[in-house]
Amino acid sequence: EPEVTQTPSHQVTQMGQEVILRCVPISNHLYFYWYRQILGQKVEFLVSFYNNEISEKSEIFDDQFSVERPDGSNFTLKIRSTKLEDSAMYFCATKWGQETYEQYFGPGTRLTVT
């Protein structure tokens, strides 16, 4: 069964460094999402992406964050200058169409900022 993959599974970085989290969506999916879960808290929506542009973003998704599909397959989340509070599990999700309800999630990347 097709699945969403994410790399790395765990990233440790120092405060102020840039990180790029990668996701490989299911091949025919058109809608892409990033979510995050700070330890012990809820899974929160960050951003949705369709047709090579951001369709919606949350208040969390400030200027330090960006997303892109650099090569038509990977879907990346970049954090330009990480802060301690960016430490969380980041999930990528994808779905085929607007009317379908199921988002397929990747296993997540655990980001630890020290």
Partner 1 sequence: GNSVTQMEGPVTLSEEAFLTINCTYTATGYPSLFWYVQYPGEGLQLLLKATKADDKGSNKGFEATYRKETTSFHLEKGSVQVSDSAVYFCALSWVSNFGNEKLTFGTGTRLTIIP
Binding positions for partner 1, rule: CB under 8 A: 3-4, 6, 33, 35, 37, 40-45, 48, 55-56, 91, 93, 98, 101-108
Write down the least CB distance from residue 82 to partner 1, Å.
Answer: 23
- Among 29, 1, 3, 25, CA closest to 77: 25
- Among 97, 53, 99, CA closest to 75: 53
Reading the block at residue 13, the tokens are: 């970085």
Nearer Cβ to partner 1 (14/62): 62
Write down the least CB distance from residue 73 to partner 1, Å.
Answer: 18
**Beta-carbon-side half-sphere exposure of residue 31 (alpha carbons within 13 Å):** 15
Please tell me the distance from the alpha carbon of residue 54 to that of residue 39, in angstroms, as a whole number: 26
Nearer Cβ to partner 1 (20/26): 26
Write down the least CB distance from residue 107 to partner 1, Å.
Answer: 4
Write down the least CB distance from residue 112 to partner 1, Å.
Answer: 17
Nearer Cβ to partner 1 (14/40): 40
Please tell me the distance from the alpha carbon of residue 92 to that of residue 26, in angstroms, as a whole number: 11
